[in-house]
């Protein structure tokens, strides 16, 4: 039995019900305090700091089945239907971002796209997601990178025009009508394993995303757990009182 399964059995995290209405309600309670404009949404506020202690935190999506989704996406320069079910048996990384034709967003999407081969080697598909239409996505990919566009993309760009996907994954700022920079890693069994959210001014790290996937896969394959700052090839921990002593004695002299 894997470490997260042992922990879940002890705490009941996976089996405890999480009503969708409560999740949405908790988010809307906090989002109601956020100014309507995207510009204002960039400002750090007391309401956002309060979010860290809101009931929503207790209902994290981590370890739970990923909310199903389907929609139109730009894939290899064409528009076609896409769904989470298409990636069953793979790791899936959802990269939520606020809006097309902006500033930090193209830097992130280009960075993930340019390293898509590394994700493919890890049986992983990265998908960019925003509330823009698929036609807006397509237009952005046809704009050159030196003008703020994306150019050719090696990852799909999913349209969340109804905002429901962003809402279901807890990253939508309701009053601003855009998503925060959420990064969600879903395992091949369809469970959320990582759920990180950045505020809008801060871009995400491709290196860190790859590290997290490698750590998840190492744990699944070997049953050992990955300590702070772990990288592929580094020491891991046997998650038992006796087994862990080898790591602690070697790394805490």
CA dist 95 → 19, 63, 66, 126, 219 (Å): 24, 18, 14, 7, 23
Give the span between the Cα atoms of 131 and 126, in whole angstroms.
17
Sort 109 into a burial class: Cβ within 10 Å, 0-12 / 13-18 / 19+: buried
Catalytic residue, from 31, 56, 66, 105: name it.
Answer: 105
Long-range contact set of residues 108-116: C-beta below 8 Å, sequence gap at least 24: 108/181, 108/203, 108/204, 109/150, 109/153, 109/155, 109/157, 110/145, 110/150, 110/151, 111/206, 112/155, 112/206, 112/209, 113/150, 113/153, 113/154, 113/155, 114/154, 115/206, 115/210, 116/154, 116/155
Q: In degrees, to the nearest 5, what angle opens at C-alpha 119 toward C-alphas 95 and 187?
A: 70
Three-class DSSP category at 93? strand
226 is catalytic: no
Q: Which residues are catalytic?
A: 105
């Amino acid at each position: 039995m894997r470490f997260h399964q042992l922990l879940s059995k002890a705490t009941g995290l996976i089996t405890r019900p999480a009503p969708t209405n409560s999740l949405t309600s908790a988010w809307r309670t906090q989002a109601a305090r956020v100014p309507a404009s995207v510009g204002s949404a960039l400002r750090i506020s007391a309401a956002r700091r309060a979010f860290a202690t809101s009931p929503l935190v207790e209902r994290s999506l981590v370890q739970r089945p990923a909310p199903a989704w389907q929609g139109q996406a730009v894939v290899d320069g064409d528009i076609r239907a896409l769904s989470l079910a298409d990636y069953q048996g793979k790791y899936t990384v959802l990269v939520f971002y606020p809006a097309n034709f902006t500033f930090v967003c193209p830097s992130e999407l280009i960075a993930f796209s340019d390293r898509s081969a590394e994700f493919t080697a890890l049986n992983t598909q990265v998908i960019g997601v925003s509330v823009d239409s698929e036609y807006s996505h397509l237009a952005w990919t046809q704009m050159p990178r030196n003008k703020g566009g994306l150019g050719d993309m090696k990852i799909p760009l999913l349209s969340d025009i109804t905002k429901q996907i962003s809402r279901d994954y807890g990253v939508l700022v309701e009053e601003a009508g855009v998503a925060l920079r959420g990064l969600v890693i879903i395992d091949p069994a369809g469970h959320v394993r990582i759920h990180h959210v950045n505020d809008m001014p801060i871009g995400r790290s491709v290196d860190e995303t790859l590290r997290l996937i490698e750590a998840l896969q190492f744990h699944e394959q070997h049953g050992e757990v990955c300590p702070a700052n772990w990288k592929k090839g580094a020491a891991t921990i046997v998650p038992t009182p006796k087994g862990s002593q080898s790591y602690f004695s070697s790394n805490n002299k």
